[in-house]
Structure 1
Amino acid sequence: MLPSLPHVSRRDLSYFFFSQHFSDGLRTTLAILLPALVGAQWGNFEAGITISTGAVCVSATDTPGPAKHKRNGMLAGLGLVFVVSILTGVVAPYRWLLGLEVVGMAFALTMLLVWGARAGSVGSATLLAMVLMLAHPPALPQVLPHALLLLLGGGWYLVLALLQQQLQPYRPAQQALGECLHAMAGFLQLKADFYQESTNLEEDYRRLVAQQVTVNDKQEAVREVLFRSRQLVNESTSTSRRLVLTFVEAVDLYEHITAGYYDYAALRRDFGRTGLLADIAALISRLATDLDYLGSAIQANRAYGSPAPDRTAEWSRLQARIAATPADAADSSPRVLLKILVNLRDLIRRITNLRRYFDESLLEEAPPEPSRAATHLQFVAQQELHFSAFTQNLTLNSSVFRHAIRMTVACAVAFVLAESLWHGQHNYWVLMTVTIMLKPGFSLTRQRNIERIIGTLVGGVLGTLILKTVASGDVRFAFLVVFMVVAYSFQRTKYIITVIFLTAYLLIMFTFLGAGYLGIIEERVTDTLLGCAIAFSAGYLLFPSWESDQLRDLMAATLRANLAYLRQLADRLAGREVTATAYRLRRKDVYVASANLAAAFQRMLSEPKSKRRHPTEIHQFVVLNHILSSNIAALTATLQDTATPTPPPSPESRRALTSAQAALTRSLTRLAPETLLEESAPAPEVRSEVPAAPADRPLLEQLGFLQKVSTDLSKVTEVLTA
């Protein structure tokens, strides 16, 4: 069943039309359409289609990232498409040799995933080129000219992409940063829901954790574009400095958003009838809207516009209302409301700071930082292209190798089925469906299969309605162009939308070529069902990759990251220096590990029930992990914002902190006993010569809560490993 359509605002439309995905969709549509139209105009439509096919294949390698990496990926795809097209053309007359090529290429090209997602996209693009050649293999004398036309089409797309990058060098970074702020605004809006008594707290946590995954993905995308581009981190231009400084400020803002954790059940119970929580939720929602407007303006590369609303005045009114609340109107101390006020004031200040992006005068005199690139490179994962990675992964212990085996068997079955049992005019669609649908994890394969089938059926209906109701060729062509742009704009975000509009525009295109669309619909639906059945069966039966098998390692990684995060807090309390870069690296590790765990848990819930292990306990682990990191962030932020030196903690505080570290270490020992390293153990307690301060009651309460959450994590881990 299709999900209900969400409300679409003007701001949502702005995010779409100024997004990287929409510009990619426009570029891909232009690169595909123009050669076909020129070929038709010059009386050589077949050559134009071949050039367009080359553009389609190379466009699949043009994934978001630094300009240098995108260029290298497209060049690699261009070379492989050329070589494989020649090989396919030579062996095409010999069906058994062609079958061997399909099997060998399916394995070798899938194994490219050992060098990362971009290399994997190069392999997928090459597989696509090979499969598309099966539609009408050229005669032997035409093999080289055909391959040269594909090379020309791929080169045309490459030139178009590089030209756009040269003309708009900052646009990818602006678009990625805008989408990051958009995701953070969604996260902040979900935080407001915790103060609404009408929402379910468990469901709120599920949605918050899911949005955390999205925010992490967007932050990683910005890091890739900004910190891997020497042009951006080394330049002393105002635009480059604004992009880098704004992103650093945005990550700090996100930390303060996550740090705003409270016992929401107790808040609702104690202050629900005062009406204060609704006012707090309303202010947070307005701050989320302000952040969303900022993201939209940055992404669209336009001025912020009207003066920003004065949220400080709203905060002051909320402060006065809390101060005026009678002591007997609530069931507990209003101190927690004061903590919320402090957090809200900090959020207002930081969102206001983000508006400096639009004020060049504030950054004109900022001196460039020569060592900035070296520092920022620490925040992005390094991907080395060593051939040894290929040979080291030729084992069943490698998930990439197991996926390559699945792909090889599935492609062999699809090829034999299409050649011997199914003789449709476009039976290569079966093989193409398999190569697109089969993914390394079963949950993603299942999701893609469902979306492919639904999208094909809906797209077939849409295309038929257009063809039955619209007789004008010009209007049909206009629909074709619009459908192409939409299909290629959503191919990396909403696959079901891509399939719907791709199917519809293919039907219109085949009609222009003189084919009967009813027969095309029947064949496409049949080929899609066959291909999806083969891909689904391979994903389920051949070395299936279940998320529950990966969760133990992901939980251990999350505990390691939180333990290191907690130890930096212990270092601060002990008076040891923690540099800003070291702290941000530990914070990033927590965000990445937590997002990876949450994403794997969500994928596990889409797998067969028999393959899910301890879903309730894992959900508790994910939520407790979020609460733990939020409170560590809150305490760290308090220490960072304190102007006076932090006094030595009291013995009670030290005991609570040591106990929390010990509980996390016990949990890590249960999950990964073979990786017990010195880093996993609690840091030795440093005794200061300065007498300990008397017990700081708020600090002691916060550390006691960290101890409780860490102990709860240990109990959940004990159940999971029993």
Structure 2
Amino acid sequence: MSREFPVGLTPPDWLVRNLQPQQASVNWAAIARAAMALALPLAIGLAAGEPGYGALASMGALSGVIGDTADAYRLRILNIAVPQLFGAIGVTIGSLVFGHGWVAVGAVTGVALVSGMISTIGAVASVSGLLLLLNCSIGAGLPLPGEWWLAPLLMSGGGLLVLALALLAWPLRSGVPERAAVASTYRTVADLLAASGTDAYDDLRHAVTESLNQSYDVVLARRAFHHGRSPDLVRLLAQLNAVTPVVEAAPAAHQHGKPLPAEVPAAVRHLAEAVETGYTGPIGLRLPAPANETARAVDHALRYAADVVTGQAPGPHPVDDRLGRPAALRIRAARAARNVLLSAASWRYGLRLALCIGLAQVLVSIIPVPRSYWVTLTITFVMKPDFGSVFSRALLRALGTVAGLVVAAGVLTVVPRGWWDVPVLLVLGPLIPAFTPRGYGYQTAAITPVILLLSDVLNHQGTGLLVPRLVDSLMGCAIALVAGYLLWPESWHTRVGDRLADAVADTAGYVELAFGAGVDPAARARRRRRLYRDLSSVRTEFQRALTEPPPTGRRAAAWWPLVVAVERMVDATTAARVRVKEGAPEPSAAEVAHVVLQLRELSEGLRETEVLFAVRTDLTGPSGSVLEPLRQEVAAARAIASPH
């Protein structure tokens, strides 16, 4: 029999959400690379009689292990090699100002400003900015062995070792990650079709959006590195584009309210196997005869996808992607630099990070702190703009550090320094890629004992490192919470409400485009994919807000149903467009304009207030119209926004 907590002892929802581990599969290849990359440099250093050099290289490998998150080989080059360059620059600057008092304070603060600004560009730039500041903090706070150029060389070498291990199988598995990503998207679409007419549909539609985003990022990253026209790449992009009509037909099938025949999702899974294996022979789809316009849309989309997968029909559009550039590569270098310099958001975040780092540097300059760089390291990790809520990360950082120190205490107490450190790293290193997908607190718990072990190789202080690490981490969390969180009272409405209002306004534009005369179908597809990607970002932002304490978390919980309602409005629009394509009567221009008016009014209301508001215009229309389901979804959204 399950027991319930007494009312006074029930943990708050935001705390439960923070501590709940995320579901993720185990990446055994990354685990093996982490063990080898962290232990090998230290073993070489011990064999050469220079364990400190080996520890530096292992520290560099640690950053490579943290960045080793991509499946596609070309993305691995970006995710690991580019940040290593910035890391080398950072440790060089830090080493040059080490021991120079206020010069070091100014230099690290300036690097923090640059790091924060470039971190807003994209995923690769974010990791690069992170490593730039981390290594600068290490160089400025820790006396490194050897000449000034040796530390950046060793640390970069350790990171590049991770890259070399990650690329070993490239000649044998070229193109496999890209095919696997596209096949995974097909399987996710199959799950979506299987959930048609059930309560599981909404969550799976969100999973399809994420899978499409990831597949386009992976495939287009390969195109960015490929010179000339590749038949395999052309085919892969065509296969990915061909699943779009199936995704567009899914809302219409779900709107019908009845589960699809089992043969339909089975056919999509069959196509996924063909994509993954590169099969080009005929595929006999065993689909039931369509009985209505919705079933016809699904049938036509599946048969066309089958023709594209097997090469019997060309892709619906040229090889150039019509549905969006990859997130990590979206902005080119020159444009990125201009955007960073002119963007208020990048300056705001850069100044925010620089303030926190500057305060930390001043504090450790005034108060003797044995390992001052740990304070800035903590702030850097907690304050990353794309890593989630500052409050949540500060909380998880503190808890993860405590858990990691328990493990580190056992290692530093029981294991003698020397060759025994190598097998210990072989055991502890793989925990980092194993725990990282579970959440930030779990990642911190895995990284902490590794960092302390390598620090002890450099400083030989044993368990004397434990208390300073705890104190410094708590100091860093406190500075981040006060100077990076409480002093910047960005309201929840500013971070999320405006984005939701933009999404509603974009939905209005999508409705106009979906039923406008003479509109290119590719333009509709681009708008729909961009809208779904934006809604995915809004959903992620809301989920982060739910992990914050009241009033932010409470506000996010109150508005969460509206996020779902907006997603359903986009689905209803897509379903209506599919039904018209299959023969349903086209809605009148007046009816479309009326729905658009309602959406724009809803958008304005969201933008003008932080509380639920009253709507003004009545939403009516002809019964039986193809837009009737959309009007119902708009009415539901307006009811959420205006509960009185």
Q: Spell out, residue by residue over 1:437-464, the C-alpha distance to the aligned partner (whole angstroms, 9 max, x if none).
A: 1133896212222322332333344556
Q: Which residue of 2 aligns with 1:326?
A: none
Shift of residue 557 of structure 1? Answer: 2.3
Q: Which residue of 2 aligns with 1:373?
A: 320
Q: Which residue of 2 aligns with 1:688?
A: none
What residue identity is the alignment partner of 2:175? Y
Cα distance change, pair 217–553 in 1 and its aligned pair in 2 (3 A): same
1:146 and 2:87 matched: no
Tell me, yes or no, if the aligned pair for 1:547 and 1:601 is still in contact at 8 Å: no
Please state whether the residue corresponding to 1:142 is helix, strand or coil.
Answer: coil
Greater Cα shift, 62-71 or 560-569: 62-71
What residue identity is the alignment partner of 2:593? T
Q: Which residue of 1 aligns with 2:499?
A: 554
1:601 aligned to which of 542, 565, 574: 542
Tell me, yes or no, if the aligned pair for 2:324 and 2:530 is still in contact at 8 Å: no
Tell me, yes or no, if the aligned pair for 2:39 and 2:422 is still in contact at 8 Å: no
1:392 and 2:368 matched: no
Q: Which residue of 1 aligns with 2:57?
A: 51
Q: Which residue of 2 aligns with 1:414?
A: 360
Cα distance change, pair 559–73 in 1 and its aligned pair in 2 (3 A): same
Q: Which residue of 1 aligns with 2:471?
A: 526
**Following superposition of structure 1 onto structure 2, how do residues 405-444 of structure 1 map, counting pairs within 5 Å?**
405-421=351-367, 423-424=369-370, 426-440=371-385, 444=389
Greater Cα shift, 549-558 or 58-67: 58-67
1:663 and 2:598 matched: yes
Please state whether the residue corresponding to 2:480 is helix, strand or coil.
Answer: helix
Please state whether the residue corresponding to 2:174 is helix, strand or coil.
Answer: coil
Q: Which residue of 1 aligns with 2:331?
A: 383
What residue identity is the alignment partner of 2:338? S
What residue identity is the alignment partner of 1:81? G
Q: What is the distance in 2 between the residues matched to 1:107 and 1:74?
A: 22
Please state whether the residue corresponding to 1:593 is helix, strand or coil.
Answer: helix
**Following superposition of structure 1 onto structure 2, how do residues 93-112 of structure 1 map, counting pairs within 5 Å?**
93-112=99-118
Greater Cα shift, 43-52 or 54-63: 54-63
Q: What is the distance in 2 between the residues matched to 1:5 and 1:117?
A: 23
Q: What is the distance in 1 between the residues matched to 2:226 and 2:152?
A: 37
Tell me, yes or no, if the aligned pair for 1:114 and 1:400 is still in contact at 8 Å: yes
**Following superposition of structure 1 onto structure 2, how do residues 342-361 of structure 1 map, counting pairs within 5 Å?**
none
What residue identity is the alignment partner of 2:500? M
Q: Which residue of 2 aligns with 1:633?
A: 574
Tell me, yes or no, if the aligned pair for 1:232 and 1:240 is still in contact at 8 Å: no
Cα distance change, pair 402–376 in 1 and its aligned pair in 2 (3 A): closer
Shift of residue 666 of structure 1? Answer: 3.1
Cα distance change, pair 463–154 in 1 and its aligned pair in 2 (3 A): closer
What residue identity is the alignment partner of 1:656? E
2:627 aligned to which of 703, 713, 716: 703
Q: Spell out, residue by residue over 1:528-577, the C-alpha distance to the aligned partner (whole angstroms, 9 max, x if none).
A: 22222221222322324343213343223212332232223323xxxx44
Larger radius of gyration: 1
Q: Spell out, residue by residue over 1:313-342, the C-alpha distance to the aligned partner (whole angstroms, 9 max, x if none).
A: xx89xx9xxxxxxxxxxxxxxxxxx87xx8
Shift of residue 601 of structure 1? Answer: 2.4
Tell me, yes or no, if the aligned pair for 2:142 and 2:373 is still in contact at 8 Å: no
Tell me, yes or no, if the aligned pair for 1:57 and 1:154 is still in contact at 8 Å: yes
Q: Spell out, residue by residue over 1:339-371, the C-alpha distance to the aligned partner (whole angstroms, 9 max, x if none).
A: 7xx8679768867987889x8xx33x6669994
In structure 1, stretches of 5+ residues that fail to align are 195-203, 268-276, 320-337, 674-694
Shift of residue 591 of structure 1? Answer: 0.6
Q: Which residue of 2 aligns with 1:540?
A: 485
Tell me, yes or no, if the aligned pair for 1:553 and 1:671 is still in contact at 8 Å: yes
Q: What is the distance in 2 between the residues matched to 1:75 and 1:309?
A: 45
What residue identity is the alignment partner of 2:444? V
Q: What is the distance in 2 between the residues matched to 1:88 and 1:130?
A: 4
Shift of residue 138 of structure 1? Answer: 3.6
Tell me, yes or no, if the aligned pair for 1:456 and 1:503 is still in contact at 8 Å: yes
Tell me, yes or no, if the aligned pair for 2:435 and 2:446 is still in contact at 8 Å: no
Q: What is the distance in 1 between the residues matched to 2:300 and 2:30?
A: 35
1:481 and 2:426 matched: yes
Q: Which residue of 1 aligns with 2:219?
A: 226
Shift of residue 593 of structure 1? Answer: 2.7
Tell me, yes or no, if the aligned pair for 1:233 and 1:241 is still in contact at 8 Å: no
1:497 aligned to which of 442, 454, 466: 442
What residue identity is the alignment partner of 2:93? L
Cα distance change, pair 592–467 in 1 and its aligned pair in 2 (3 A): same
Please state whether the residue corresponding to 1:607 is helix, strand or coil.
Answer: coil
What residue identity is the alignment partner of 2:319? R
Tell me, yes or no, if the aligned pair for 2:91 and 2:138 is still in contact at 8 Å: no
1:240 and 2:181 matched: no
In structure 2, stretches of 5+ residues that fail to align are 1-15, 609-620
1:113 and 2:119 matched: yes
1:169 and 2:93 matched: no
Q: What TM-score do the two structures reach when normalised by structure 2?
A: 0.77
Greater Cα shift, 247-256 or 69-78: 69-78
Shift of residue 257 of structure 1? Answer: 3.2
Aligned residues between the structures: 609
Cα distance change, pair 531–352 in 1 and its aligned pair in 2 (3 A): farther
What residue identity is the alignment partner of 2:148? V
Tell me, yes or no, if the aligned pair for 1:39 and 1:45 is still in contact at 8 Å: yes
Cα distance change, pair 523–183 in 1 and its aligned pair in 2 (3 A): farther
Cα distance change, pair 5–489 in 1 and its aligned pair in 2 (3 A): closer
Please state whether the residue corresponding to 1:657 is helix, strand or coil.
Answer: helix
Shift of residue 430 of structure 1? Answer: 1.9
Q: Which residue of 1 aligns with 2:246?
A: 253
What residue identity is the alignment partner of 1:557? D
Tell me, yes or no, if the aligned pair for 2:197 and 2:255 is still in contact at 8 Å: no
Q: Which residue of 2 aligns with 1:40?
A: 46
What residue identity is the alignment partner of 1:484? G
Q: Spell out, residue by residue over 1:382-427, the C-alpha distance to the aligned partner (whole angstroms, 9 max, x if none).
A: 414344334323xxxx222222222112112323344443534x44
What residue identity is the alignment partner of 1:170? G
Q: Which residue of 1 aligns with 2:4?
A: none
The one of the two structures with greater contact order (alpha-carbon pairs below 8 A, sep at least 6) is: 2
What residue identity is the alignment partner of 1:45? P
Q: What is the distance in 1 between the residues matched to 2:480 and 2:62?
A: 23
Greater Cα shift, 516-525 or 213-222: 516-525
Cα root mean square deviation, aligned: 4.7
Please state whether the residue corresponding to 1:115 is helix, strand or coil.
Answer: coil
2:564 aligned to which of 619, 623, 638: 623
Cα distance change, pair 118–147 in 1 and its aligned pair in 2 (3 A): closer
Q: Which residue of 2 aligns with 1:686?
A: none
Greater Cα shift, 111-120 or 471-480: 471-480
Tell me, yes or no, if the aligned pair for 1:213 and 1:598 is still in contact at 8 Å: no
Cα distance change, pair 222–419 in 1 and its aligned pair in 2 (3 A): same
Cα distance change, pair 290–525 in 1 and its aligned pair in 2 (3 A): farther
Q: What is the distance in 2 between the residues matched to 1:607 and 1:102?
A: 30
Please state whether the residue corresponding to 1:143 is helix, strand or coil.
Answer: coil
Q: Spell out, residue by residue over 1:567-610, the C-alpha distance to the aligned partner (whole angstroms, 9 max, x if none).
A: 23323xxxx44433112112112212322322222223333423
Q: What is the distance in 1 between the residues matched to 2:427 and 2:277?
A: 26
Aligned residues with identical type, % of pairs? 20
What residue identity is the alignment partner of 2:320? A
Shift of residue 160 of structure 1? Answer: 5.0
Cα distance change, pair 406–161 in 1 and its aligned pair in 2 (3 A): same
